[in-house]
Structure 1
Amino acid sequence: WADGAVGPEVAAAYSARRVRLLDALAGRGVAAYGRSGMNVWVPVPDETGAVARLLQHGWAVAPGARFRLDSPPAVRITVSPLTEADIEPLADAVAAAVRPSPARSYR
């Protein structure tokens, strides 16, 4: 950000999207992190399951294993391609994806 590779207007747009997504997730009770840049980090109980559930709803996110050394499972959401209209539906999908699956009994 500091070396000018990304113009200030682009950096500001990424920041606004990131903050908007963080707020939308918080409003749904989903813990998420991202202080700068174009990514939001969302802790999940199961990376593979969360990635698969989000993909089924049309959202591509990255499993966190590639980006972490010693932290719990999470997914990384890149905000750069998002539009304002994407934020609420994405937050709904993330909230659904991170909830534990309902218990099932087989008889």
Structure 2
Amino acid sequence: MSGTGDGEEEYRGPVTVVVDGAEVFVDAHLAGHFDPLTGTYRWVGRLAPAPEVSARFAAGRRAVLLRTPDGHEGRGELLEADLWGGHRVRGSGRPPFAVPELRADEL
């Protein structure tokens, strides 16, 4: 995990995708930031191609849970496939990767 230099945190690596009760292991690139206007943390990303994920998306399944190897979890929404056959994903609230803790005087 490393920041991109513009206030975003990011994660690149393996994730467990839980969609419609099935666990699928894929690589992901996720990034997020705290949105001070809404008071929530928003995150987005891309999942590597996985036929199991694509099949569930085609069946209308959109709710997804992502889990990183260090135990962080985030609930989100599975989005359309990209040109390479992977799927985009987005969520708000707790992200599926570690983020630095902010002190009240840093907000």
Structure with the higher fraction of residues in helix conformation = 1
Greater strand proportion: 2
Question: Which TM-score applies when normalising by structure 2?
Answer: 0.24
From the CA coordinates, give the structure whose radius of gyration is larger.
1
TM-score by length of 1: 0.24
